[in-house]
Amino acid sequence: MVRELIDAIGEQAVVWHDEDLIVYEYDGTIDRGNPDVIALPATTEDVVNLIKIANKYEAPVTPRGAGTGLSGGALAAKGGVIIGMNRMRAIFDIDVENKTALVQPGVVNLDLGAEAERHGLAYAPDPSSQRACTIGGNVAENAGGPHTLAWGTTTNHVLALELVTADGEVQWIGHETRDEPGYDLVGCVVGSEGTVGIVTQALVRLVPRPTAVRTLLAVYDSVRQASNAVSAVVASGIVPAALEMIDKMTIAAVEPVLNTGFPLDAEAVLLVEVDGPDSQVEAEGARVEGILNRFEPREVRSATDPEDRETLWAGRKGAIGALGQIMPNYYLLDGVVPRTKLPDVLDSVYEIAERYRLPVANMFHAGDGNLHPCLLFDEREPGATERVLDAGGEIMRLCVDAGGAITGEHGVGLEKRDYLPWIFSEEDMDAMKSLRAAFGPTENFNPCKIFPKGHGCGEAGHQHAQHQIAKFGPKAFV
Amino acid sequence: MADAEPAEVAAVQSLFDNVDTDGAHLQRYEIDGQVPRAAISANTIDDIERAHSVATSRDLAVIPIGGRTMLGLGMPPRRYDVALDMSGMDQVVDYEPDDFTISAQAGMTLASLQQVLAANGQFLPLDHPRFEQATLGGICAVGRGGLRRNSLGGPRDWLIGMRMVKADGTTIKGGGKVVKNVSGYDLPKLFAGSLGTLGAIAEVTFKLRPQPASDQVVALSADSFEQALAASRAAARAAPFLDGCLALSAQAAERAASHGAEILDDRPALVLRASGLESAADEVLASALDAAGLAGLHDPPRRTTAIVESWQAIVDCELDTPADHVRLRLGLPPGNLERARSLIDEHLPEVSSWVAAGDSGLLFVTTPSVDAVTISSLRNALGPLQGRLTIESASVELKRAADVWGPAGPGARLMHRVKEQFDPNGTLNPGRYVDGI
């Protein structure tokens, strides 16, 4: 098979030596997967040929972007071929008049943002990994980011896709103005985690750049105060562009590295951004500041010019990287709850982490109710990984019991597939599987992802979910 | 069917609960001249499940029906045995205002929902014609963004969860009750816009927005629709944060005026809408009005305090097509609107009304007469402009001859396979959708 792959796309584009494959065993999760070979196509035709060769040998196919994913979606759970899309990174066209961009999937999110900015426009979804992550990966995971509070997630910004399905057929789906009659196939493919096909081109929507932006940062002495301030901002009728929180552990990690100037004894920092026309930003900024002040902050900072705003954001966007200061490993969760449940759920998160003797750093999209508890550990310590996974399962259960879901923007992937029955019945999952089946022979296409453990996938991933399910019951919420 | 034998009708009716046996009532559910043999009122999800299982086992075709505002959409049904009336399922299921989400049964009207939300200073940002009659389920099944879709998006963008009953009577759900959620495939998006061909939508959950502090609508008269359209493009370019930006022909303006849009009269018009904090809405409107002035619209702008009524009157125009006229809907990149207008002018001998959304790339055209050959050549001509032309209202003959959806696009192969997976017997809404689905 390797020989055929090399014949199809050239020796330089195929990676198959053991020492080179190691790089592709990882993504941003704890799980690992061992691919047999990596193929790096340059064109849509290459992708078609690769899929056909893999199908001929009944080899699993796993699409991969930058490998920054946080649910194991880009791991080769059953071995086989990883199709890495990084060489397909052209921005073909920015249509200023109609506010769209036509790009290849390997384009880095921030590069598209920068190109759009040159034309006075913006690409709204901005996951924290945006310096590295690719549009193809964003489409697969329906990526979010801090600014999705006002603008929505990736699915609200993808108009049409060129898709190579599992049977190697190429087709465009969707339409520039969503006027293609028929089912919303684009809506189905976005967020399908690479399980129904590989996206080879994407037509995305760009949005006007706001004429003004103001970022406010408030420091609080308790997480409760900060949470209450979040609720008050949301209830005020203002829809901020972003509404983020970081807690004490995160502050402790980022401060020494990024010199953000956060007081180390503060319990929580809130970031609120408002944007739009000048007068809107002026008035809303003042109102938000008033609300933040009502909850007795230690201080409120504010910035309007890009460089100062970047400084305020540095502590949030650089948080994950900085956590290495505290512990060598982290397990980043992605629970989502109704906004009113946020303060109670946060309290419980701290309680669970304490019970499992794990440091926890919280940095998250407070305005969306999307939590990212980050459990810190050292995998060299015996039993630590198991403890982290158990605590993670309990936190996910907590979110489900609060009426929420197991993932807001990172995807189910390999990591959370056994938790899916906590929110969906067999019938729900069967309907999802039947949608997958419509895209062709997808059993070998990014196998072992999203749906609970099936045949042949038990060896990949971890067994801990079973333990959690035994503890909480398989259908407690359904 | 209209001509079914009474014995046959009785046999079908005897299979179901909650059957409306009054023959005259059945006329309410007429679609393209076809009347069902039985109408069932669903009051619970159980009712839908039972109706679907019976229908599937007896090979009867079911059409789920909401507020009956857009029954003319799509191709004439291939078969039509049972109308499943969802309008009795009209309750709020779950509403915690501070969560900014609401779950409601599919038969609730958009107007009732907005009323519930308004009491808490919130709203669902969707435009839909006849919103006092149109149901949430129907709006989602039709699934299209309205005249403000550039700023608001469509139902797909606000839906976060859905409960639906498949043809075999199985109830499934997708999404959830949180504003951000990627757990499992996005089934609500699959069902939004599926025109009831995959299942009956039973319950929907939306994310919501706070009502803006200020909401403003202004109208300016133009010399011609052409001029109004050019001004709408100029305004959309100059003020990208506009909430709405419409160009109306004289006839369209007059009709909207007669429905209660007090800022319109019998002249072509540009209608602008801006919202947000008052100063911000003012700022956006000011740049749009400057651009409109440069585009030659010099009459003083007329303002109104009856925002919702005036706007809704314009939105309602879409469904106000005389029975013997044909209404076309064209969606295309907004930058191509003006060229599309000229092409339509060249192809159609007479246009009785035009409504365009200058920022959203939407054009509604009403014409007294058009034949299938003209539609086909118009579609070909609009192809290079990325235009998608659908026939929204026409005689059954024209619908069949010209195919209301147009030629099947590249996604048709996948769409047939999706239908095959969800409704293999073709129980639901057979023949009305794209490419014979």
- Is A212 in CB contact (< 8 Å) with chain B? no
**Alpha-carbon distance A299 to A296, whole Å?**
8
The C-alpha of A249 sits at a distance from chain B's nearest C-alpha, in angstroms, of: 25
Residues B204-228: tens digit of each pLDDT: 999 999 999 999 999 999 999 999 9
Residues A410-420: tens digit of each pLDDT: 999 999 999 99
CB-CB under 8 Å, A184 with B193: yes
- Is A339 in CB contact (< 8 Å) with chain B? yes
CB-CB under 8 Å, B332 with A179: yes
The residue of chain A with its CA nearest to that of B416 is A438
CATH classification (class only), A94-208: alpha beta
Residue A222 phi/psi, 5-degree rounding, is -150, 150
**What is the pLDDT confidence band of residue A407, given thresholds at 50, 70 and 90?**
very high
The reply to whether domains B1-211 and B321-402 share a CATH topology is no
Q: Any idea where the domains of chain A sit in the sequence? A: 2-84, 94-208, 212-322, 323-426+450-472
**What is the pLDDT confidence band of residue A219, given thresholds at 50, 70 and 90?**
very high
The C-alpha of B184 sits at a distance from chain A's nearest C-alpha, in angstroms, of: 6
CB-CB under 8 Å, A173 with B410: yes
What is the residue whose two structure tokens read 């970022």? A215
Domain A2-84: which topology?
3.30.43
Chain B contacts of A420, Cβ < 8 Å? 183-184
pLDDT value at residue A312: 87
The residue of chain B with its CA nearest to that of A451 is B184
Picking from A97, A100, A179, the nearest residue to B388 by CB comes out as A179
Q: Go through chain B and tell me how many residues it has.
A: 437
Looking at chain B, the whole-number percentage of residues with pLDDT higher than 70 is 99
Average pLDDT, stretch B27-52?
95
Chain B contacts of A365, Cβ < 8 Å? 180
CATH architecture for segment(s) B214-318 = 2-Layer Sandwich (3.30)
Q: A217 pairs with which residues across the strands?
A: A271, A301
Other residues' Cβ atoms within 10 Å of the Cβ of residue A404: 29
Portion 231-260 of A in contact with B at CB < 8 A? 231, 234-239
- What does the CA dihedral A24, A30, A33, A37 come to, rounded to 10 degrees? 0
The C-alpha of A209 sits at a distance from chain B's nearest C-alpha, in angstroms, of: 9
**What is the pLDDT confidence band of residue A325, given thresholds at 50, 70 and 90?**
confident
**What is the pLDDT confidence band of residue B299, given thresholds at 50, 70 and 90?**
confident
Chain A contacts of B390, Cβ < 8 Å? 181
Chain A contacts of B435, Cβ < 8 Å? 182
To the nearest whole number, what is the mean pLDDT of chain A? 92
The C-alpha of B115 sits at a distance from chain A's nearest C-alpha, in angstroms, of: 17
CB-CB under 8 Å, B178 with A369: yes
Q: Can you point out the beta strands (E) in A119-188? A: 121-122, 158-165, 170-174
Residues whose CB falls within 8 Å of the CB of residue A174, separated by 6 or more in sequence, listed in order: A158, A159, A160, A161, A180, A184, A185, A186, A203, B411
To the nearest whole number, what is the mean pLDDT of chain B? 95
Is B336 within 8 Å of B381 (Cβ atoms)?
no
CB-CB under 8 Å, A156 with B153: yes
pLDDT of B426 higher than 80: yes
Lowest-pLDDT range, A227-236, B98-107, B173-182?
Answer: A227-236
For B123, the token pair is 């709203």
Chain A contacts of B211, Cβ < 8 Å? 237
pLDDT value at residue A473: 52
For B73, the token pair is 């959409």
pLDDT of A116 higher than 90: yes
- Is A113 in CB contact (< 8 Å) with chain B? no
Q: Any idea where the domains of chain B sit in the sequence? A: 1-211, 214-318, 321-402
Chain A contacts of B240, Cβ < 8 Å? 99, 208
| Closest to A438 measured CA to CA, from B410, B122, B416, B120 | B416
Chain B contacts of A280, Cβ < 8 Å? 276-277, 279-280, 283
Domain B1-211: which topology?
3.30.465
Picking from B100, B166, B189, the nearest residue to A187 by CB comes out as B189
For testing the chain B interface, which of A156, A173, A176, A177 should be mutated: the one with the most B CBs within 10 Å? A177
The C-alpha of B375 sits at a distance from chain A's nearest C-alpha, in angstroms, of: 16
Chain B contacts of A405, Cβ < 8 Å? 176, 178, 181, 183
The C-alpha of A164 sits at a distance from chain B's nearest C-alpha, in angstroms, of: 12
**What is the pLDDT confidence band of residue A466, given thresholds at 50, 70 and 90?**
low
Average pLDDT, stretch B167-189?
97
The interface pTM score, or ipTM, of the predicted complex is: 0.96
Residues A250-289: tens digit of each pLDDT: 999 998 888 888 889 999 999 999 998 888 899 999 999 9
The reply to whether domains A94-208 and A212-322 share a CATH topology is no
Chain B contacts of A369, Cβ < 8 Å? 99, 178-180
How many pairs of residues across A and B have Cβ atoms under 8 Å apart? Answer: 254
- Is A185 in CB contact (< 8 Å) with chain B? yes
pLDDT of A314 higher than 90: no
Looking at chain A, the whole-number percentage of residues with pLDDT higher than 70 is 95
DSSP letters along B223-292, please? SSHHHHHHHHHHHHHH-TT-SEEEEE-HHHHHHHHHTT-TT--SS-EEEEEEEESHHHHHHHHHHHHHHH
Q: Go through chain A and tell me how many residues it has.
A: 478
pLDDT of B1 higher than 70: no
Domain B321-402: which topology?
Alpha-Beta Plaits (3.30.70)
**What is the pLDDT confidence band of residue B2, given thresholds at 50, 70 and 90?**
very low
Q: Can you point out the beta strands (E) in B125-213? A: 159-166, 171-175, 199-207, 209-210
Alpha-carbon separation of residue A397 from A333, A336, A392, A422, B290 (angstroms): 12, 11, 9, 8, 55
Picking from B101, B182, B187, the nearest residue to A411 by CB comes out as B182
The residue of chain A with its CA nearest to that of B149 is A177
- What's the predicted TM-score (pTM) here? 0.95
- The CATH number of the structural domain formed by A323-426+450-472 is 3.30.70.2740
The residue of chain A with its CA nearest to that of B122 is A237
| Closest to A57 measured CA to CA, from A116, A2, A17, A130 | A2
- Is A192 in CB contact (< 8 Å) with chain B? yes
Alpha-carbon separation of residue A314 from A227, A262, A298, A357 (angstroms): 21, 11, 20, 29
Average pLDDT, stretch B171-192?
97
Chain B contacts of A44, Cβ < 8 Å? none
What is the residue whose two structure tokens read 């700023």? B151
- Is A325 in CB contact (< 8 Å) with chain B? no
- The CATH number of the structural domain formed by A212-322 is 3.30.70.3450
Is A427 within 8 Å of B171 (Cβ atoms)?
yes
User: Does residue B115 or residue A462 have the better pLDDT?
Assistant: B115
Chain B contacts of A396, Cβ < 8 Å? none
pLDDT value at residue B86: 97
**What is the pLDDT confidence band of residue A459, given thresholds at 50, 70 and 90?**
very low
Chain B contacts of A152, Cβ < 8 Å? 153, 157
